[in-house]
Structure 1
C-alpha cells in the first residue's frame, strides 16, 4: 500500500513574503503521511532559500527547480513526480487549516472518490469569509449529475474553478492524462477541472472549509491590464472545449455557456481595472477598448437575458453600457468605481447585488 496519502503541489514564483505561513500550515498537518512538492518556477527572490531551510527540518518537503514556465507547467511538473494516493494543490501565498488534508483524504478514501470538494475561506476587503458551497454537501454525485449540472457550471461561472480546495485521486488523473494547459496565466484551474469532472465517476462536496485564499494585490497573476486579461478571456471564449475535452453537451449549449461566462468575465475585469492603482486615463482607455469590442457587443446583445438572469445592479449597469455603446456612461461608471471604492462600500454593493438577485 502507498505510504503517502496526499501529495500537495505548491508552485512558487517570488512568493517570499508569504511562504512561511504556507510552509507552517503544511508541516502542521494532522495527516502526517503527506509529501509537499514545491516547484520553484524561476523565482528571483529568497523563496527557494526559505524552502530549503524548512526542508532541513522536514524530509517531506520536495523541491523541483525549473526556469520560469508559468503556473500550469509548474503544477504539471509536480504531478509528474507525485507519489500520493491523492493530489492536492496550494498557492504559495495561501495557507490551510491543520486538518485540511486529513478531512479531505478520509472522505475520499471512505467513498473511493475521484474528486473531493471543500468550501473555501476567501480573503476579501481585509477579512475572511466562507464561500457558500456550489452544490449540496454530503451527496455522492455520479456522471449523470456531473454532465447535467457540474460541467455546465464550469463552463458558465467560476464557482468551481479552483483546484486548491479539492483533492484528486492520482491514479485517476494519470489514467485520463488530466493536466494543466500550457501558456495560460488565468483560468488554467478551470480547464484542469473541466477535464477532471468530465471523466470523474464520483464526486463529493463536503461541508468543511480549510483553505485560506489570500487576495494579494501585487501578485503577478492579478495584474489585470499588464497581463491583458481581456485578450486571454477572448482566447478562452474561442477555445473548442467540445473537441479538446470530448464534452457531451450540444454545440449550441456550449456556445451559450461560454458566451455568458465571457460577458461575466468582462463585468469582473471592468471592476478590477476600476480599482487598479494606475492613471485613470490608462485604465479608461483599456476598459473602453474592452467593453466596446465588436465581439463583446455581439455576444452581450444576443445573450443579454441569460447573462443578467442571476446578476445584480452593477452587472446590469455594465451590460447597459455595452448595449448602448455609451462612452459617457462608461466614464461615469469608471469614475464612480475609482472614487467610491472602499472595503465597506464594496461589501455593501455585494449585499445589494445579492438582494437584487433574490428578487
Structure 2
C-alpha cells in the first residue's frame, strides 16, 4: 500500500521573498504522510539554497532543478515524479493552514473521490477574505452535473480556475493524461481543470478554507503589459476546447461561454493595466489597442446582454466604452482608476458592484 498520501507540487521561480512561509506551512502539516516536491524552475536568486536548507531537516522535501520552462512545465515535472495517492499544488509565494491537506485527503479517501475542492483565503488590498464555494458543499457530484454546470462554469468564469485549493487522485490524473499546457503563463490552471473535471466521476466541494493566496505585485506573472496578457487571452479565446479536450457541449454553447469569458478578461485586464506602475501614455496605448480590437468589439456587440447579465457598474461602463468606441471616455476611465485607486476605494467599488448585480 502506498505510504504517501498526498504529493504537494511547488513550482519555484525566484521566490526567496516568501518561500520560507510556504515551506514552514508544509512541514507543519498535520497529515504526516506527504511528500513536498519543489521544482526549481531556473531560479537566479537564493531559492534553491533556502529549500535545501529545509531539506536537511525534513526528508519529505524533494528538490528537482531544471532550466526555466515556465510554471506549467514545472508542475508537469512534479506530476511525473509524484508518488502520493493524491496530488496537490502550492505556489511558492503562498502558504496553507497546518491541517489543509489532512482535511482534503480525509474527504477524498472517504468516498474515493477524483477531485476535492476547498474554499480559498484571498489576499487582497492588504487583508484576507474567504472566497465562498462555487457550488453547494458536501454533495457528491457526478458526470451529469459536471457536464451541465461545472464545465460551463470553467469555460465562462474564473470561479474554479485555481489548482491550489484542490487535490486530485493521482491514478486518475495519470490514466487520463491530464497535464498543464506548455508555453502558457496565464490560466494554465483553468485548462488543467477543464481536462480534469471533464473526466472526473466523483467530486465534492467542502466547507473549509486553508489556502492563503497572496497577491504579489512584483510577481513575474502579474506583469500584465510586459507579458502582453491580452494577446494571450485572445489566443485562449481561439483555442478549440471541444477538439482538444473532447468536450460534449454543443459548439454554440461553447462559443458563447468563451465569448463571455473573453470580454470578462478584458474588463479585468483594463483595470490591472490602469493601476500598474507605468506611464499613463504606455498604459493608455496598450489598453486602447485591447479595448478597440476588432474581435473585442465584435464579441461585445454580439453577446452584449450575456456579458452584462450579472455585472456591476464598472463592467457596464467598460462595455459602453467598447461598443461606442469612445476614446475620450476610455481615457477618463483610465485616469479615474489610476488617480482614485486605493484599497478602501477598491473595496467600496466591489460592494457597489455587488449591490448592482443583486438589483
What is the match of residue 281 of structure 2? Answer: 281
Alignment deviations for residues 201-245 of structure 1 (CA, whole Å, 9 cap, x no partner): 011000000000000000000000000000000000000000000
Three-state SS of the structure 2 residue aligned to 1:138 is: coil
What is the match of residue 255 of structure 1? Answer: 255
What is the match of residue 270 of structure 2? Answer: 270
**d(CA) in 1 for partners of 2:204, 2:198:** 14
**d(CA) in 1 for partners of 2:116, 2:337:** 38
Alignment deviations for residues 329-348 of structure 1 (CA, whole Å, 9 cap, x no partner): 00010000000000000000
**d(CA) in 1 for partners of 2:62, 2:201:** 31
Three-state SS of the structure 2 residue aligned to 1:141 is: coil
Alignment deviations for residues 84-137 of structure 1 (CA, whole Å, 9 cap, x no partner): 000000000000000000000000000100000000000000000000110000
What is the match of residue 335 of structure 1? Answer: 335
Three-state SS of the structure 2 residue aligned to 1:118 is: strand
1:206-245 matches, within 5 Å, as: 206-245=206-245
Structure 1 unmatched runs, 5+: none
Alignment deviations for residues 1-47 of structure 1 (CA, whole Å, 9 cap, x no partner): 10000000000000000000000000000000000000000000000
**d(CA) in 2 for partners of 1:292, 1:53:** 51
| TM superposition outliers: structure 1 runs of 4+ over 3 Å | none
What is the match of residue 195 of structure 1? Answer: 195
**d(CA) in 2 for partners of 1:351, 1:253:** 31
What is the match of residue 51 of structure 1? Answer: 51
**d(CA) in 2 for partners of 1:90, 1:98:** 13
What is the match of residue 181 of structure 1? Answer: 181
Three-state SS of the structure 1 residue aligned to 2:141 is: strand
**d(CA) in 2 for partners of 1:203, 1:272:** 33
**d(CA) in 1 for partners of 2:12, 2:304:** 40
Three-state SS of the structure 2 residue aligned to 1:209 is: strand
What is the match of residue 20 of structure 1? Answer: 20
What is the match of residue 95 of structure 1? Answer: 95
Three-state SS of the structure 1 residue aligned to 2:249 is: coil
1:62-73 matches, within 5 Å, as: 62-73=62-73
**d(CA) in 2 for partners of 1:45, 1:121:** 28
TM-score computed with the length of structure 2 as normaliser: 1.00
What is the match of residue 4 of structure 2? Answer: 4
**d(CA) in 2 for partners of 1:233, 1:150:** 21
**Count of residue pairs brought into register by the alignment:** 359
What is the match of residue 32 of structure 2? Answer: 32
What is the match of residue 111 of structure 1? Answer: 111
What is the match of residue 311 of structure 1? Answer: 311
What is the match of residue 148 of structure 2? Answer: 148
**d(CA) in 2 for partners of 1:338, 1:245:** 40
What is the match of residue 353 of structure 1? Answer: 353
1:323 is the counterpart of 2:323 = yes
What is the match of residue 168 of structure 2? Answer: 168
**d(CA) in 2 for partners of 1:66, 1:165:** 25
**d(CA) in 2 for partners of 1:101, 1:19:** 19
Q: CA deviation at 1:191?
A: 0.2
